[in-house]
C-alpha cells in the first residue's frame, strides 16, 4: 500500500476510534441520534482522509471539524474531566466548519478580510456557551454574506457551487439561532444540527471535484463573449480572485513582454508566487500573483495554460487576418493589372483599329463608295453602299467590344452620366435612381459598379424576359451600393459572368449578392467600400 494512502487510512481509523469512544462515553437520548451524531463526524473523517493527498489544506480543515465534533460530544460524559473537555469543544466545530465553507477549493483563504472572518469564527467558537451561541450564529450569517458576495466575482460555472456554500452557511445560522432560543425540543435541535452540518460537509467536500471540472473549462470562460474585449490579465485576475495579478509572455526571439507587447520587467524572485505554462507554438506564459496571494497551484496552472491557449488562438487569428489581407491585396493587384491590360487593349482598339476603320469610312463616303480596281471593290448594283453599311456595323461592334473591355473615360469622370448611358442603351426599358455623391467614390469602386450594371443588363437582355429594369446607386454611411432589379422570370445562377463580377467586388473588400427566385424578381447587388 502506498505510504500516503497508509497514512490517510491510519489517521481515519484513529479519528473514527476517537469518535466511537466519545459516543460510547456520552450517548445521546436514543441509539438513532447517537448513530446520526457519529455519522456526521465520520463524514468529515472520511472526506478529509480522501483529500489528504489531493488537497491537504482542505483535508486538514475537514479533519479539524471531525475532531472537534467528537470532542464536543463528550459534554454528556459521566466523567467530570471528559465533560469539561466536551464543554470546551462544544461549539469548536463551528469555527472549523465556517472556515471550511469560507475557503476556496484549496482550503486557502487568500484575501486578508477572509482570514479575519475565519479568525473571528474560530475565536467566538471557544467562548462560553452563553456567549458563543449568538456569536457563532452571527459569524455564520457573516460568512454567508461574504460567500454570496464572492459569487458575483467568480466563474459562471463555479457560481452555483459558491452559492451552495453560502446557502449552507445560512442554514447553519438558522439552526444555531433556533438552538440559541430553545425554539424546539432538544432531540429536534440535535437532528436539525446533524442535518445542517452534514449538508455543509457534503457541499464543502464536493467543491474540489467540481473545481477540477471548473479548471477544465477555463478556456471557454476566458474566451466567452460576456467579457469580449477585456484584457486577458483582467479576466485571469477575476478568475483567480487576484487583483494584483500580472501576466508576462516570453515571445521567442523577442523576450518578455506584457499583453500590449511592451517590454516587461524581469521575472525576478521578489517573494511573489509565479505560475508558468508553455505556449503551444513556443514561448511561455508567466502569471505573477499579487503580493501575499497564495494561489491554488492546480487552478493557477490551469489558468496559465488556458491563457497560453487563448493567446495562441489570438496569434493564429491575427496571422489568419494578415494572410487574408495579403490575399485581398494580391487580388486587388491582379485586378489592377487585368484592368490595366483591358484599358490598354481598349485604347489600342480605339486609337488604331477604329481610327483606320473611320479613315476607310471617310474615303468611301468621299468617293461615292468606289475605290477603283486597286482597292478590289467594284460598284455593282449598290455594292458600295452595302460595304459602307457593313463597315459601320463593324465599327459599332469594335466600339462596343472596347466598352466591354474597359469602361469609357466617362466612368472615371462622371459615374452618374455613365450609368445613365448604360440605362439608355439597355434593350430592356430601364430607370436609374442615384443618391448621394457617387462620383466621390474611388475609381476602382466606380469601375466595379459600371461592370456590375453592364453585365447585369446584358444578362437581363439575353435571359430574363423582363419588361423593366430598375438601377440604383447610393453612397453613404461608409458604403457604396449599386443594385439592378428586373421583373423577369428569375432563376438566374452565378454563371461565369456574375462569378467574375463577384470576384471583382470581393477583391475590393465588398460583398456581391444574387437573389433570383423562380418567377422573379432578380436582384443583383454589390456593396462596396467608397
CB atoms < 10 A from the CB of 84, how many?
Answer: 12
Q: Which residue has the higher pLDDT, 268 or 372?
A: 268
* DSSP reduced 3-state for 62: helix
Q: How many CB atoms lie within 10 A of CB 330?
A: 11
72-76, 86-90, 381-385: least confidently modelled range: 381-385
Place of cell 467614390: 441
Helix axes 383-405, 297-348, angle to 10 degrees: 160
List where CATH 3.30.565.10 sits in the chain: 415-528
pLDDT band at 24 (very low <50, low <70, confident <90, very high): very high
Choice among 13-27, 348-362, 479-493 with the minimum mean pLDDT: 348-362
Query: Which residues does 21 contact at the CB level (< 8 Å), separation at least 6?
Result: none
Which CATH code fits 3-216?
Answer: 1.20.1070
pLDDT beyond 50 at 373: no
Other Cβ atoms less than 10 A from the Cβ of 298: the count is 16
Q: Are 519 and 489 in contact (CB under 8 A)?
A: yes
Mind listing the pLDDT tens digit for each residue in 337-367?
555 555 555 555 555 555 666 666 665 565 5
So what CATH class is 415-528? alpha beta
Please give the pLDDT value at position 248. 82
Contact 113, 62 (CB under 8 A): no
Transcribe 362-416 into DSSP letters.
HHHHHTTT--BTTTTB---SSHHHHHHHHHHHHHHHHHHHHHHHS--HHHHH-HH
- In the chain, where does the domain assigned CATH 1.20.1070 lie? 3-216
| pLDDT attached to residue 257 | 76
> How does pLDDT run across 50-84, given as a tens digit for each residue?
888 878 888 999 999 999 999 999 998 988 899 99
Q: Tell me how crowded residue 513 is: count the other CB atoms within 10 A of its CB.
A: 12
379/483: higher pLDDT: 483
Predicted pLDDT at 226: 46
pLDDT of the residue at 225: 45
Nearest to 451 by CA among 528, 383, 391: 528
Q: Using a pLDDT cut of 90, give the percent of the chain over it.
A: 31
Q: Cβ-count burial of 118 within 10 angstroms (0-12 exposed, 13-18 middle, 19+ buried)?
A: buried
For 285, phi then psi, to 5°, come to -115, 135
Say if residue 30's pLDDT is above 50: yes
Instruction: Please name which of 473, 467, 468, 476 lies closest in space to residue 433, comparing C-alpha atoms.
Output: 473
Amino acid at each position: 500500500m502506498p505510504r500516503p494512502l497508509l497514512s490517510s487510512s491510519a489517521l481515519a481509523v484513529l479519528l473514527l476510534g476517537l469518535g466511537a469512544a466519545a459516543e460510547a462515553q456520552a450517548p445521546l437520548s436514543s441509539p438513532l441520534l447517537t448513530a446520526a451524531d457519529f455519522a456526521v463526524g465520520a463524514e468529515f473523517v472520511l472526506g478529509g482522509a480522501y483529500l489528504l493527498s489531493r488537497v491537504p489544506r482542505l483535508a486538514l480543515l475537514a479533519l479539524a471539524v471531525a475532531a472537534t465534533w467528537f470532542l464536543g460530544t463528550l459534554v454528556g460524559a459521566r466523567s467530570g474531566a471528559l465533560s469539561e473537555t466536551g464543554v470546551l469543544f462544544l461549539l469548536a466545530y463551528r469555527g472549523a466548519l465556517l472556515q471550511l465553507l469560507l475557503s476556496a477549493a484549496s482550503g486557502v483563504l487568500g484575501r486578508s478580510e477572509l482570514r479575519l472572518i475565519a479568525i473571528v469564527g474560530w475565536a467566538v467558537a471557544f467562548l462560553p456557551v452563553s456567549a458563543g451561541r449568538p456569536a457563532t450564529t452571527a459569524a455564520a450569517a457573516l460568512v454567508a454574506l461574504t460567500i454570496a458576495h464572492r459569487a458575483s466575482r467568480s466563474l459562471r460555472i463555479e457560481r452555483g457551487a459558491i452559492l451552495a456554500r453560502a446557502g449552507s452557511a445560512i442554514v447553519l445560522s438558522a439552526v444555531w439561532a433556533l438552538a440559541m432560543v430553545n425554539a424546539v425540543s432538544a432531540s429536534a435541535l440535535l437532528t436539525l444540527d446533524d442535518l445542517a452540518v452534514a449538508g455543509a460537509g457534503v457541499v464543502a467536500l464536493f467543491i474540489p471535484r467540481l473545481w477540477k471540472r471548473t479548471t477544465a473549462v477555463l478556456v471557454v470562460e476566458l474566451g466567452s463573449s460576456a467579457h469580449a474585449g477585456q484584457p486577458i490579465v483582467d479576466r485571469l485576475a477575476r478568475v483567480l480572485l487576484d487583483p494584483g495579478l500580472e501576466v508576462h509572455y516570453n515571445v521567442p526571439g523577442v523576450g518578455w513582454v506584457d499583453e500590449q507587447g511592451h517590454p516587461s520587467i524581469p521575472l525576478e524572485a521578489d517573494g511573489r508566487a509565479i505560475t508558468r505554462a508553455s505556449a503551444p507554438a513556443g514561448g511561455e506564459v508567466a502569471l505573477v500573483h499579487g503580493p501575499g496571494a497564495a494561489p491554488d497551484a492546480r487552478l493557477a496552472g490551469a489558468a496559465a495554460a488556458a491563457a497560453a491557449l487563448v493567446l495562441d488562438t489570438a496569434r493564429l487569428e491575427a496571422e489568419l487576418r494578415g494572410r487574408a489581407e495579403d490575399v485581398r491585396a494580391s487580388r486587388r493587384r491582379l485586378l489592377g493589372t487585368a484592368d490595366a491590360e483591358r484599358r490598354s487593349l481598349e485604347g489600342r482598339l480605339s486609337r488604331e483599329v477604329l481610327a483606320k476603320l473611320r479613315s476607310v469610312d471617310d474615303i468611301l463616303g468621299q468617293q461615292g463608295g468606289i475605290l477603283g480596281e486597286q482597292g478590289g471593290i467594284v460598284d455593282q448594283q449598290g455594292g458600295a453602299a452595302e460595304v459602307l453599311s457593313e463597315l459601320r456595323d463593324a465599327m459599332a461592334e469594335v466600339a462596343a467590344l472596347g466598352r466591354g473591355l474597359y469602361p469609357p473615360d466617362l466612368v472615371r469622370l462622371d459615374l452618374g452620366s455613365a450609368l445613365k448611358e448604360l440605362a439608355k442603351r439597355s434593350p430592356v426599358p430601364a430607370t436609374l435612381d442615384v443618391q448621394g455623391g457617387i462620383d466621390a467614390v474611388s475609381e476602382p469602386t466606380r469601375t466595379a459598379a459600371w461592370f456590375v450594371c453592364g453585365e447585369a443588363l446584358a444578362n437581363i437582355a439575353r435571359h430574363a424576359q423582363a419588361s423593366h429594369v430598375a438601377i440604383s446607386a447610393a453612397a453613404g454611411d461608409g458604403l457604396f451600393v449599386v443594385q439592378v432589379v428586373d421583373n423577369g422570370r428569375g432563376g438566374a445562377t452565378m454563371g461565369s459572368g456574375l462569378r467574375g463580377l463577384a470576384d471583382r467586388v470581393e477583391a475590393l473588400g465588398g460583398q456581391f449578392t444574387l437573389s433570383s427566385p423562380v418567377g422573379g424578381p432578380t436582384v443583383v447587388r454589390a456593396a462596396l467600400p467608397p
